[in-house]
Structure 1
Amino acid sequence: MSAVEVLRLPLSVNLGGFVALLQRLQVPHRVSEESGEQVLWVPGEQLAEDVRGLYQRFPEGDPDFQLVPAPVSERAGGFVQQLRDSPLTTLVLLLTLLVAGVTLLGDNFATIRWLSFQDFQIQGEYIVFTPLAESLAAGQWWRLITPILIHFGVLHLAMNAMWFWELGRRIEARQGGVMLLGLTLLFGLVSNCVQYVSAGPGLFGGLSGVLYGLLGHCWIFQWLAPNAAYRLPKGVVVMMLIWLLVCLSGVTETLGFGAIANGAHVGGLLVGCATGLLGGALARLRR
């Protein structure tokens, strides 16, 4: 396989950070000097296209390794730029916040019943659920997805929004907004259905099933095809898996923190690992 020219830049341009990023990703490359310019070479045209795209996103290297915080004014501007760079992630979070406002964070049952997995009626102190088959027969297919937008309480919303912002931006930067949308819908569908099948009729909601899917996707993808975007901080995967085991043990319910949608968490994680396995394997082959 012959070497392919990726970039040709003036000697005044500092390629050190980007070359360090390529080294961390284990991308074969070399830099030569020709006619007063520095030239970056990689083996193969497909890899060259990938590296060009990577340089457009991270010309100065991996931003996750910038250990010195920027001034407040720069951080503010950087956040605005992050919003612009992650439109799909931002859109999902804005929609989630809108639903949280309309549903009064779980207190407005008249609105929640239109977004819940099953329609229901409040009769005294009891909730009477409409069979799912009846709702689907009436064309209410959105119910298979929309529970991911329902949140019960400020803490529930804040934690899920924070993690979706962290994981969603990574996938949108690495694989694009269309892929993030597809994964979000897939993880939402699977996690909601697994929760329903495993626990039966019930009122549940939140992005946590999707989050475990995104986590599993990044985790396995990064394991197979190391890349800067999916390199999670040390301990994040371990912490999330420990929390999953704690929830499965029933300790949270015993301590009075309420029921946890464990089926959604497990279902999301498993399908996320599957998509990460597929995506990572394809990325590895392309390299």
Structure 2
Amino acid sequence: MFKFLVLPAHQDPMPLSRHLWKARIGHRILPDEAGNHAFWLLDVTLLPYVQLAIDDWQAGRPTQPANINPTSLAYRIKKVPVTLTLLLLGCLVTLAFEWLFGPIVFLLVSFTPMEFANGQVVSLPLSATLTSGQWWRLITPIFYILA
């Protein structure tokens, strides 16, 4: 958090606080050592918008929301870049294996062994999987995404 403003103890901080929230600027108001109202910014990247919002509030102008929409796709992607990268990488690997090897990949990584019988895919019982020592089949479906 970043302290960006201190109001005297006798001044009501709520009008400014409401104005900042309408501008989509997340903040907290905490008392400082002297009992004044210290405004703390939750997201430092919004600092350029704070001064604009304070200027609007002092001039009595209506709130102009910061150029951030928390529901937008771009905002969400910025918040989870590693997760999104791993998800996309997993999807690409799955599609590549499916394209290169076809349904044989599904048969190899399925929970229980499967085989073709009379033109249909038949699943063998779980006991056959465990007695044959293919314990890895218990976790490999976690990594497979049906495309």
Q: TM-score, normalised by structure 1?
A: 0.29
**Higher fraction of strand:** 2
Larger Rg: 2
**Higher fraction of helix:** 1
Q: TM-score, normalised by structure 2?
A: 0.50
